[in-house]
Amino acid sequence: MGCGSCGSGTPNGCKSNGSCGTNSCNRMNAYDWLVNLPISDVETACRVVEVSFNQGSRKDYYRNSSLQLYEKGDWITVEGVSGFDVGEVQLTGEVVRLQLKKKGLEEFNPEMKKILRRATDRDLDLYKQNKARERDILIRCRAIAKQMNLNMKMSLVEIQADGKKGTFFYIAEDRVDFREMIKIFASEFKLKVEMRQIGARQESGKVGGIGSCGRELCCATWLTDFKSVNTAAARYQNLSINQTKLSGQCGRLKCCLNYELDTYLDALQGFPENADLLQVKRGTATLIKKDIFKNLMWYVLPESSKQYPLTLERVNKIRTLNNQNIIPDELEAVEVVSNKALEVEPEYVDVVGHITLKSLEKSDKKRKDRSREHRGGQQQREAPKGNMMIQKRTPNDPSKNVAPRKEGPQRPQHKRRPPGNNPQKRD
């Protein structure tokens, strides 16, 4: 069945049976919101088709010079480098014209490659055979780069559908001389080699994965423009500068730090400036945090770990008094009352959410109590065996307990000798 979130509209558009996970059909996709629009004039319709390769990690535009119409999800054969390539149709119609305008491309560019035909069974079989070689080639090219002591990381290999060309994506900090390595690749893999340098963010977008939020990576689904992210974005949002939590799978700062940055900057415009230090009789109060949701500024006094929340009006008043060389007596902090309901610790272990140590300690204590009760019940159910003495209360004398004796010959009791009177062993 078709996927509900990708908007393909046809069963052929979904390759993952409705589960849009890593490397899914919704990767780097644009929703065709004009797919059901009837074409009134065929001559004025857009004749350019957006085609995706390698499960959406790479896209390109091709001209449909024939009169055949293609829909999203169709596999077509297009012009390649000294051969042909096979891709999947992603967008058609007027939305492609908007995408071309967005990317600054011309619709009637004579150098734009063309669509050859609809992909045949032979084209698809050859495409699958060459795609199956990519993993082995990637392992081999990494071994060759290591033997040649090149300071580079081979990230991904993409082979053309006809097997005549291979694109090798690599990551390197400095310039690398790989001319000899290209000759080895061409002679061993029997294809035309193209080396393309990418960054860590582009590598994550091509490889894909799941982020700490539980969703697929933004760079692998919809994010195409990578903007620079610095620690100032985290400071404006009052986030702790923890490199482990702020870094994504690419090792760089998370792109989502820029999503709410503009909102925080707009909210911070209403806060007073140059209010990092306030003078009171107890000392100099230092600003440690700005809360844009409650319009409060948190200060701390010297020789004290207590934090004092102040309203914006109170901060402006203290600044005005300090400018007049007047030092107020107190900060006059407001009382912050949390409206958050008390959290109830769940009895089950939530493997998706956050687990506190308190819940683990409670479950461990319950487990120990159950095992202790189970052992006590087994001891009570066991019947006495052997020479175990049974306490029985006689009806004549309830204060005395009489234990029955076992019938039969009794073993002689040997007295234990004191440790100093043992006779010496004679020869």
217 is written with which tokens? 């990576």
Same domain, 85 and 35: yes
Same domain, 16 and 38: yes
Whether residue 21 sits in one domain with residue 96: yes
Does residue 137 sit within a domain? yes
Residues 151 and 114 in one domain: no
259 and 318 in a single domain? The answer is no
- Whether 354 is covered by a domain: the verdict is no
Does residue 90 sit in the same domain as residue 183? Answer: no
Residues 90 and 23 in one domain: yes
What does pTM read for this prediction? Answer: 0.61
Q: What domain range is 183 assigned to?
A: 132-204
* 28 part of a folded domain: yes
| Structural domain includes residue 385 | no
> Is residue 127 included in any domain, yes or no?
no
Three-state secondary structure call for residue 311: strand
Asked if residue 102 and residue 146 are part of one domain, the reply reads no
pLDDT, one tens digit per residue, over 281-330 is: 888 999 988 888 888 999 999 888 888 999 999 999 999 999 999 988 88
- The dihedrals phi and psi of 339, each to the nearest 5 degrees, come to -90, 5
At which of 91, 119, 147 does a domain end? 119
Residue 204: its pLDDT value, please? Answer: 87
Strand blocks (E) in 68-134: 75-79, 84-91, 115-118
State which of 119, 151, 185 marks the end of a domain.
119
pLDDT in tens, the chain (427 residues): 334 444 444 333 344 443 444 444 545 566 676 666 666 555 667 889 999 888 777 889 999 888 788 888 899 999 988 889 999 998 888 888 888 888 888 888 888 999 999 999 999 999 999 999 999 999 999 999 999 999 999 998 999 999 999 999 999 988 888 899 999 999 999 999 999 999 888 888 888 888 888 888 888 888 877 888 888 899 888 888 888 889 998 889 999 999 989 989 998 888 988 888 999 988 899 998 888 888 899 999 988 888 899 999 999 999 999 999 998 888 888 887 765 544 455 554 455 555 555 666 777 778 888 888 877 766 666 545 444 444 444 444 444 444 555 454 555 555 555 555 554 544 4
Query: Is 37 part of a structural domain of the chain?
Result: yes
Look-up of token digits 């009789």: 281
Q: Which of 83, 98, 119 is the last residue of a domain?
A: 119
177 and 244 both lie in a single domain: no
Q: How many domains does the chain have?
A: 4
Residues 198 and 254 in one domain: no
| Buried-exposed string 318-332: b where 16+ CB fall within 10 A, e elsewhere | bbeebeeeeeeeebe
Is residue 283 domain-shared with residue 257, that is, in the same domain? no
400 Cβ neighbours under 8 A, 6+ residues apart: 394
**Residues sharing a CB contact under 8 Å with residue 274, sequence separation 6 or more, in sequence order:** 319
Domain presence at residue 347? no
Question: CATH code at 192?
Answer: 3.30.300
188 part of a folded domain: yes
Please tell me whether residues 177 and 192 are part of one structural domain.
yes
**Which residue, 42, 45, 121, 28, is CA-closest to 77?**
121
